[in-house]
């Protein structure tokens, strides 16, 4: 254990000044990853619970209770459905309601995706800082060979090469986990978005089946045709 600790300390001591900004970038990326993971995990649980509670109301087609529930619940899935319920006050056409729910989805997605893209940027910054440290170390190595005393050349050359190699290694050690966290968070976000879209389709299908909304724009007119024909026959 002591040997590992001393190796880590030696690694940082020989890494030069670029080790510290790379460390800051890595810690910042870890904080973002943890915060996003906890947030998305909480939102996933909220969505599941909210839709499970909303589903019995959806099957009863009680519009007032459904609207009241979507206003009280802060889950993304109920906000999207709430947009559809609000549009149903204006029109009963499925396409219009679907467009309104899509707008609600566009409003919800930024909260789910925020700060996740920073991880790829931070990974690139860590890699570039490592590369910059490598270049600075190599410049120092060439300077040592060109102008140092013969007795000091090997020591200065060794130190400069340590700076070059350690910063490159640490830059990659910081960038690779951040890219992995970025991919995991994107995948988790995609699953949440897919679950919201699936719930929205289920809402539309149930409301269409219960004739609360019409599958096509011509559905209300088609229902009016028999009444007109009956009027002519009665006349």
What number of H helices and E strands is found in the chain?
8, 0
Q: How far is the C-alpha of 20 from the C-alpha of 133, rounded, in Å?
A: 11
What average pLDDT does range 100-122 have in this prediction? 89
pLDDT of residue 190: 92
Q: How far is the C-alpha of 99 from the C-alpha of 93, rounded, in Å?
A: 10
Mean pLDDT of the chain: 80
pLDDT of residue 64: 83
- When mean pLDDT is compared across 11-25, 152-166, 218-232, the lowest value belongs to 218-232
pLDDT of residue 227: 42
Per the domain annotation, does 235 fall within a domain?
no
Per the domain annotation, does 33 fall within a domain?
yes
Per the domain annotation, does 230 fall within a domain?
no
What average pLDDT does range 106-134 have in this prediction? 90
Pair 91, 212: CB distance under 8 Å: no
What average pLDDT does range 156-184 have in this prediction? 85
- Between 91 and 218, name the one with better pLDDT: 91
pLDDT of residue 5: 58
The confidence band for 133, taking pLDDT boundaries of 50, 70 and 90, is: confident
User: How many domains does the structure of the chain reveal?
Assistant: 1
- Between 59 and 14, name the one with better pLDDT: 59
What number of other Cβ atoms are within 10 A of residue 132's Cβ?
16
**In Å, what is the CA distance from 231 to each residue of 100, 223, 225, 228?**
37, 14, 10, 5
Per the domain annotation, does 175 fall within a domain?
yes
- For residue 32, pLDDT over 70 is answered with yes
What average pLDDT does range 138-149 have in this prediction? 71
pLDDT of residue 216: 63
What average pLDDT does range 192-207 have in this prediction? 89
Per the domain annotation, does 234 fall within a domain?
no
Q: Find, among 181, 193, 171, 180, the residue nearest to 32 by Cα.
A: 181
The confidence band for 182, taking pLDDT boundaries of 50, 70 and 90, is: very high
Q: Find, among 104, 102, 98, 50, the residue nearest to 72 by Cα.
A: 50
Q: How far is the C-alpha of 16 from the C-alpha of 165, rounded, in Å?
A: 10
pLDDT of residue 144: 66
- For residue 75, pLDDT over 90 is answered with no
> Under DSSP, is residue 210 helix (H, G, I), strand (E, B) or coil?
coil
- For residue 225, pLDDT over 60 is answered with no
Q: Residue 97 is part of which domain span?
A: 8-211
Per the domain annotation, does 216 fall within a domain?
no
- For residue 43, pLDDT over 60 is answered with yes
Per the domain annotation, does 116 fall within a domain?
yes
Tokens of 93: 């056409």
- Between 149 and 26, name the one with better pLDDT: 26
Per the domain annotation, does 222 fall within a domain?
no
pLDDT of residue 214: 77
Q: What is the pTM of this model?
A: 0.77
């Amino acid at each position: 254990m002591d040997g590992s600790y001393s190796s880590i300390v030696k690694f940082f001591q020989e890494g030069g000044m670029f080790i510290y900004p790379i460390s800051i970038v890595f810690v910042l990326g870890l904080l973002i990853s943890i915060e996003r993971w906890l947030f998305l995990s909480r939102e996933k649980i909220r969505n599941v619970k909210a839709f499970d509670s909303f589903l019995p109301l959806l099957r009863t087609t009680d519009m007032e209770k459904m609207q009241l529930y979507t206003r009280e619940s802060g889950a993304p899935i109920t906000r999207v459905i709430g947009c559809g319920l609000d549009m149903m006050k204006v029109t009963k056409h499925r396409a219009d309601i679907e467009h309104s729910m899509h707008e609600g989805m566009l409003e919800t997605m930024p909260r789910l995706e925020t700060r996740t893209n920073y991880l790829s940027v931070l990974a690139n910054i860590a890699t570039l800082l490592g590369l910059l440290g490598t270049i600075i170390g190599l410049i120092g190595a060439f300077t040592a060979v060109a102008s140092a005393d013969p007795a000091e050349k090997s020591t200065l050359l060794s130190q400069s090469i340590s700076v070059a190699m350690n910063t490159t290694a640490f830059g990659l050690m910081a960038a690779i986990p951040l890219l992995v966290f970025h991919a995991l968070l994107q995948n988790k976000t995609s699953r949440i978005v897919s679950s919201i879209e699936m719930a929205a389709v289920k809402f539309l299908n149930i409301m269409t089946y219960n004739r609360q909304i019409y599958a096509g724009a011509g559905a209300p007119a088609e229902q009016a045709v028999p009444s007109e024909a009956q009027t002519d026959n009665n006349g």
